[in-house]
Amino acid sequence: MAECMLKLLSKEGVIIIEVQYLMNTLKDLTFDNIYHEHYNYWSLTSLINFFNQFDAKIYKSEKVDTHGGSIRIYVKKNKKAKIENSVKKMLSEETKFGIKRFKTYQEFGNKVYQIRKNVRKNIKKLRDKNNLIIGYGAPAKATTSLNFFGISKEIDFIVEDNKLKHEKFIPGVKIPIKNKSHIKDKNNTLVVLAWNFFKDIKKNNHNLSDNFINIKDLETNN
C-alpha cells in the first residue's frame, strides 16, 4: 500500500498517516488495544525505517489523543525535504524511553500480568459486595481484556449503545450484551469497559446507576 501511495504522490505531495503509537501502549499499558484489526504497532523509529526502504522521508510528526495515544506522520518523496524538530524530538524521546531495548518489552509483559492479578482480585471484591455487576460498552478492547483477565460470570451482562451488538455475546467469555432498557433500577455497579469514554458514559447515563467504575481503576493493587 505504501508503494502504491508513493507512486500516486506528486513531487510536492504529502502523505499523512495516523496510527496507534507504540510508546503510548507501552507506557500506559493499554494492551487491550491489541487485537485483530490493529495489525501493526508503530513507533516513529520503526516508521522511519519502514519508509527508508522506499526512499521516502518523514519530515514531521505529532502526537494525537485517538485510541489512547496515536502518532501522525507527514511523508514526502523528496529526500532533501527539511526534517522538522518534531521528528528529532520524538526520536530522542523514544531512544530515552528504550524503544529499541528488548528489556522494555519484557517489563511491559510483566506489568500486564500484574494488571491481570489486580483486576481478578478487585472484581472478586466487587462481586462479594454487590448483587449485580453490569458492564457498559462492548468495544473490541473489552474482548481482549476480559479474555485475558478470565472474567466471565463475574459480570452479569453488558449494555451497549450499538443496536447491532444487542442479544450477542462477548467472544470467548460469552457475557451477554443487552439494550440499556435491560437495567431496571440503579441497584447495581456499572463497570465501564469502554474506558476511553468513561466521563461521557457516566455523565450521560446517571439514571442507570449510582456507582460507576472505570475498568482501568480495577487495574491497580488496592
Q: Which CATH code of 3.90.330.10, 3.40.720.10, 3.40.50.720, 3.90.1150.10 fits the domain covering 126-218? A: 3.40.50.720
| Average pLDDT over the chain, rounded to an integer | 93
3-state secondary structure at position 137: coil
pTM above threshold 0.75: yes
Q: What's domain 2-100's superfamily in CATH?
A: Vaccinia Virus protein VP39 (3.40.50.150)
Q: What is the pLDDT of residue 78?
A: 81
Handedness of CA 185, 158, 31, 149 (dihedral sign): positive
Q: What is the pLDDT of residue 68?
A: 73
Q: Is the pLDDT assigned to residue 67 strictly greater than 80? A: no
CATH 3.40.50.720 positions along the chain are: 126-218
Which H helix or E strand runs over 5?
A: helix 2-8
DSSP β-ladder status, 70-76 and 15-20: antiparallel
Q: What is the pLDDT of residue 41?
A: 87
Q: Is the pLDDT assigned to residue 39 strictly greater than 90? A: no
* Number of neighbours of residue 204 by Cβ within 10 angstroms: 11
Question: What is the spatial distance between Cα 142 and Cα 43, in angstroms, rounded to a whole number?
Answer: 24
